[in-house]
Structure 1
Amino acid sequence: MNWFNRVRNSLGFSADKKSTEKDLWIKCKSCQEMLFVAEYEENLCVCPRCDHHGRIGADARLHLLLDDGYQLLDQPVVTEDPLKFKDSKKYTDRLKAARAANPHNDAFVVGSGEINGSPAVVGVQDFSFMGGSMGMAVGMAFCAGAERALTRKCPYVVVTAAGGARMQEGILSLMQMPRATVMTRRLKAAGLPYIVVLTDPTTGGVTASYAMLGDVHIAEPGCLIGFAGQRVIQDTIREKLPEGFQRAEYLHKHGMVDMVVRRHELKETLASVLDYLQPSPETNEAA
């Protein structure tokens, strides 16, 4: 025991667990700078030193994009653990742990409201809930958001953040890919804009379905976007991948993303895009 610990123990000193360095500081994953948590959150979880865009939750994202007074759609009720899946833990136990650590019952949340006064439905995928994985609940929530947009005859904006399909639901999770794809086709047939905002990370079956079917694709700076992991691709093609491969800026340069927009400018950019794509009154009457 060192001198400091001996003195501290003799004085009966104990740190207040409610106010520790862990609560006050956060390390930027990009530049490794230590930042005040309050300053970081006030800056929308964007590092003020290097502009690295950190991950944010579904509620924070909806609050950022939608005007005050938006309505949260009820989350769909689905059959839980249809395959009675168990690996190192039961799937039901993983769901309980995820729900205890998150404000919502699953990884996809839908808000119906306005963006700078323009009607819009916004669906948000939350990576903090089991890696934003796409299971039946996510698929049904996505479809419910599209149905609300069809009912309101307004644009549908989806913010993606996922590690892919949820393996604990097997083929049932993969079936959400065509289900979501059908809904994007219905939006197109109705002449309603479908906009995708890609955030870090967007991978796997989500990328292979609704994440890449938008009329316009907007990405946050530096976010990872792809299907398979870089190591898998590199081992398969046996070639070294280019610098920045699968990052937003690389995909923008090669035409897979329409624009890369900072989080602080995202709402204004969406408002401008939606204003441009908003269906005319004649189209609504025809529908």
Structure 2
Amino acid sequence: MAWFSKQKKLKSKDTTPAAPPTPAAKGEGIWYKCDGCGEVVPRAEYERNWNVCPSCGAHDALPVRRRLEMVLDAGTFQELDVELTPQDPLGFSDSKKYRDRLKGTFKSTGLRDAFVSGVGAVGGEPVSIGSFAFEFMGGSMGSVVGEKVARVFDRAYERRIPAIVFSSTGGARMQEGIFSLMQMAKTSAALHRFRAVRRPYVSVMLHPTTGGVAASFAWLGDFVIAEPKALIGFAGPRVIEQTIREKLPPGFQRSEFLLEHGMIDAIVPRLELRDRLAQLLALTA
């Protein structure tokens, strides 16, 4: 039984349509209140600032397409692999059937799965790029996500260009069972093949990056970058505390803690990320 399927090949100019926004009540959505500092700012200003609070710098979630727009040179992104769609090989059902959950999430987000991939340019340097979409089932990695991640590395290998992956995920997708866990080995093997061309792989870990993604390709970058205060690790801190029956240190598994202990290379605020990526690619060209 197939793990995923290909839909009818789309023309290159076609992309997955974004879901229409929910109509807001009069006056609703004009203001944004920061969860970090409580400051209220105009939502338009907050969105122009790429969902970073202008007052305290707190980073909120950023939709996947806006993230790619922020990082890539204008007009260079070409989305690929749009014909891949997840299937339900196990006939999984919890509170609702998996196939119904997929349909409902597509309807609400406009996304076929939790990963968007393609090619573009950063600072004039061609790159093979992909980003998780946490808005799709918590960015969980199923067979389609794993295939798309592997293709990011395969394209980088074929074209001899750098690879960039943005991770924001709760880990493997339980609805696909072992098919989901297999993607850890599959993506790591694709990354190993890519190493032969000696071009950089930049892994950018966002909030949160956990589970099987953190335990595989996300931590295997030549450069491992994180956003401020991102939760990064295999199991979450609550699970660890309940398992070892001990209180964890303050800030455990946050990007600042990991940088201090040598687990990542740098913490880069979102507004500086594009320039930092361009600098890294220029130095390794």
TM-score normalised to structure 2 length: 0.88
Decide whether the 8 Å contact of 1:76 with 1:140 is kept in 2: no
Residue deviations 1:176-215 (CA, integer Å, cap 9, x gap) = 0000000111111221211100101101111011111101
Decide whether the 8 Å contact of 1:78 with 1:136 is kept in 2: no
- SS of 1:218 mapped into structure 2: strand
Counterpart for residue 255 of structure 1? 262
The separation in 2 between residues aligned to 1:103 and 1:177, in whole angstroms, is 26
Decide whether the 8 Å contact of 1:125 with 1:162 is kept in 2: yes
- Tell me which of 85, 100, 103 is aligned to 2:92: 85
Counterpart for residue 164 of structure 2? 157
- SS of 2:126 mapped into structure 1: strand
Establish whether residue 74 from structure 1 lines up as the match of residue 74 from structure 2. Answer: no
Decide whether the 8 Å contact of 1:76 with 1:141 is kept in 2: no
Counterpart for residue 213 of structure 1? 220
| Amino acid across the alignment from 1:275 | A
Max Rg structure = 1
Report the count of equivalent residues.
262
Query: If each structure's helix is expressed as a fraction of its own residues, which one has the higher value?
Result: 1
- Tell me which of 48, 63, 66 is aligned to 1:60: 66
Q: CA deviation at 1:21?
A: 4.2
TM-score normalised to structure 1 length: 0.88
Decide whether the 8 Å contact of 1:219 with 1:248 is kept in 2: yes
The separation in 2 between residues aligned to 1:76 and 1:163, in whole angstroms, is 24
**Runs of at least 5 residues in structure 1 that lack an aligned partner in the other structure:** 1-16, 279-287
Residue deviations 1:87-142 (CA, integer Å, cap 9, x gap) = 01010111111111223211111130110101111110010000000001100111
Q: CA deviation at 1:78?
A: 4.9
Q: CA deviation at 1:237?
A: 2.2
**Runs of at least 5 residues in structure 2 that lack an aligned partner in the other structure:** 1-22
Counterpart for residue 236 of structure 2? 229
The separation in 2 between residues aligned to 1:45 and 1:255, in whole angstroms, is 28
The separation in 2 between residues aligned to 1:93 and 1:135, in whole angstroms, is 16
- C-alpha change, 1:79 and 1:220, in structure 2 (3 Å) is closer
| Amino acid across the alignment from 1:169 | E
The Cα RMSD (Å) is 1.4
Q: Which moved more, 1:197-206 or 1:30-39?
A: 30-39
| Amino acid across the alignment from 1:236 | T
Matches within 5 A, 1:115-264: 115-264=122-271
Q: CA deviation at 1:224?
A: 0.8
